[in-house]
Amino acid sequence: MTREEACMKKDDAIKHFPHEGKLLGYDLYGNGHINDTFLLEYELCDGNIKKVILQRMNHEIFKKPIELMENILGVTSFLKEKIIENGGDPERETLNVITSDEGLPYYQDVDGNYWRAYRFIEGATSFDTVENPEDFYESAVAFGHFQRLLADYPAKTLHETIEGFHDTAARFKRFEQVVAEDKCGRAAAVQNEIQFVLKRKEVAETLGAMQRAGELPLRVTHNDTKLNNIMLDDKTHKAICVIDLDTVMPGLAINDFGDSIRFGASTGAEDEIDLSKIECDMKLFELYTKGFIQGCNGSLTQKELEMLPMGAKVMTYECGMRFLTDYLEGDVYFRIHREGHNLDRCRTQFKLVADMEQKWDTMNEIVKKYM
């Protein structure tokens, strides 16, 4: 379904998430790649405005939306208990799911689309890029704190909402298959990028092998730890809530760390065309490392801490491989806004990987400093 089609379907979905007050209006919200998101505004009897987030879940990507919502309910309910124990505000410090008129955490329309609604978190903002280093630090503390709060959650009970999402070795095999098939005839023009992936096969296999050997524990992971999935309080600029829990499932904590670094410590946009602008900023890497370890507050093992730089390298490599795979398949997964958009995205990731390789000793020394 296109975003335009989702706009046409939203009126029906709105009716199935009853809210107090009069609906004043709605508009598209955010710039996510996957789901279609709308911001609804309701006027209450006292004249105040209540906001609600309505989303159409992309069930072509998230093929098991009911299991996905079971994960979100389980994790947010657990987080609420922890937040209350710590004297926090569960209305602002975790997502709050609004049930449909059938008492379910989702609504399925006649065309098979799945919708959900959340309470809007007032007085807070998320940022797409690192505008202030302190905000990046706050996001690190928040994602580390997320790990600490969920350290006792039975990770194995969560559904795998996207099978093999961070199985980098499996993605490597899929990449080889896509290159061999070359169904869009694009491979010949991107041989440099293809060879970059193929020459780093061991990067794809490292973390999975360590997890199978018991060196890295299975944990509840967010799996999309970009800066824009953290809400920062507008007044204090402190991180208050981790959002976008669609990919919460069993995984490796160092992958969550690594995804933050690949996105937030880059000196350029994810789709920057001028690669001379792209490098992994060691000041930002150190700031995030400090905040993440502080937020985890002893919940990670010694081995996990030692492997944080590898988490950054693997997640950046994997993301670049995913962008390149999608480009070779005809841009069927990530939403694009121009010709070659996914190719531009993959090139920024590979430039970051190469830069990390040049700065590998520095990255390890920084981690040791805060261990």
Domain boundaries along the sequence of the chain: 3-122, 133-370
pTM, entire model: 0.89
Return the pLDDT at 21.
85
Q: Identify the segments of the chain with pLDDT beneath 50.
A: none
What CATH architecture applies to the domain 3-122? 2-Layer Sandwich (3.30)
Return the pLDDT at 247.
93
Radius of gyration of the chain (CA): 21
Return the pLDDT at 365.
98
Burial class of 111 by CB neighbour count within 10 A (0 to 12, 13 to 18, 19+): exposed
Return the pLDDT at 162.
85
Return the pLDDT at 282.
98
Q: What are phi and psi of 220, to 5 degrees?
A: -75, 120
**Cβ(357)–Cβ(205) under 8 Å?**
no
Return the pLDDT at 242.
97
Residue type at 362?
T
Return the pLDDT at 20.
83
Distance CA 182, CA 371 (A): 45
As given in the structure block, the two tokens for residue 324 are 């390149």
Q: What is the dihedral of CA 206, 210, 215, 217, to 10 degrees?
A: 100
Return the pLDDT at 245.
96
Strand partners, 98: 117
Return the pLDDT at 266.
94
Distance CA 106, CA 100 (A): 6
Return the pLDDT at 350.
98
> Which residue has tokens 């329309």?
109
Distance CA 101, CA 18 (A): 6
Distance CA 87, CA 201 (A): 47
Distance CA 67, CA 64 (A): 5
Q: Is 87 left (phi over 0), alpha (psi -120 to 50) or beta?
A: left
- Give me the helices (H) in the chain, please: 3-15, 65-85, 133-149, 168-181, 191-198, 201-212, 253-264, 282-296, 302-306, 308-329, 341-358, 360-370
DSSP summary character for residue 86: T
Return the pLDDT at 161.
87
pLDDT in tens, 230-275: 999 999 999 999 999 999 999 999 999 999 999 889 999 999 999 9
What CATH architecture applies to the domain 133-370? Alpha-Beta Complex (3.90)
As given in the structure block, the two tokens for residue 201 are 């096969």
Burial class of 227 by CB neighbour count within 10 A (0 to 12, 13 to 18, 19+): buried
